[in-house]
């Protein structure tokens, strides 16, 4: 999907957010999209009703243990981060409090950010429940936001991933990066002599590519 299409999907003039306490269940209805800040990113889930939230979350514990009682406990930040590294994740159901992990909950914030209309609430919940269990995980290409966006809007996309890739592209493909890469190549050539000519050529080639894409 091209950046312009992503821009059209995600951005609207209104960015109204409804914040509710994790202890107050009255604002939640089946099929709602919930989100909370979690470590370095925003975490997403789908409310199923009866204080249950389905969410895709990385967790290292199932890799080393079959203790279902321990696995069912709230996923700590350490378990989550190690799960990201190991690419071990599942779609599981937790209480709103465990899902929120001490943070305030945003309800259906993405409705005001995404141009795509939400599906019927029961269809959203059905999709969320259908994917319960172990699942392939990628921090960039299939994370909790991809999961909820598919469930609520039928789009397997992530705004966080788009933002991250855009920031990396601006950094890596900047003229400053091109200058630094070229200087490293010239420095290696002067310091190591002709034996490093191939390395220098590679450095210079990379700097040229960065320059052309900046």
Catalytic residues: 43, 55, 144
Two structure tokens written together for 42: 């925003």
Beta bridge partners of 43: 36
Asked if residue 91 lies in contact with residue 143, where contact means CB atoms within 8 angstroms, the answer is no
How far is 8 from 40, CA to CA, in rounded Å? 25
**Total residue length of the chain:** 214
Per DSSP, 115 falls in state: S
Q: Is 193 left (phi over 0), alpha (psi -120 to 50) or beta?
A: left
Residue 194: DSSP 8-state? G
> Running DSSP on this structure, what letter comes out for residue 138?
B
């Amino acid at each position: 999907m091209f950046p312009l299409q992503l821009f059209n999907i995600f951005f609207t003039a209104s960015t109204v957010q409804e914040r509710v306490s994790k202890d107050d269940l009255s604002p939640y209805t089946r099929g709602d999209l919930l989100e909370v800040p979690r470590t370095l990113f925003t975490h997403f889930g789908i409310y199923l009703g009866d204080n249950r939230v389905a969410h895709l979350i990385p967790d290292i514990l199932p890799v080393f243990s079959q203790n279902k009682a321990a696995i069912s406990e709230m996923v700590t930040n350490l378990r989550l981060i190690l799960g990201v590294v190991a690419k071990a994740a599942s779609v599981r159901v937790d209480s709103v409090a465990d899902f929120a992990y001490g943070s305030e909950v945003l309800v259906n914030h993405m409705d005001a950010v995404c141009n795509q209309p939400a599906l019927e609430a029961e269809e959203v919940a059905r999709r969320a429940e259908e994917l319960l269990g172990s699942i392939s995980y990628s921090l960039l290409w299939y994370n909790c936001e991809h999961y909820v966006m598919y469930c609520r809007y039928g789009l397997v996309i992530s705004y966080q991933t788009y933002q991250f890739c855009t920031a990396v592209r601006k950094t890596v493909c900047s003229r400053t990066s091109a200058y630094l890469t070229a200087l490293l190549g010239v420095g290696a050539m002067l310091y190591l002599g002709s034996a490093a000519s191939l390395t220098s050529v590679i450095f210079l080639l990379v700097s040229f590519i960065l320059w052309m894409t900046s």
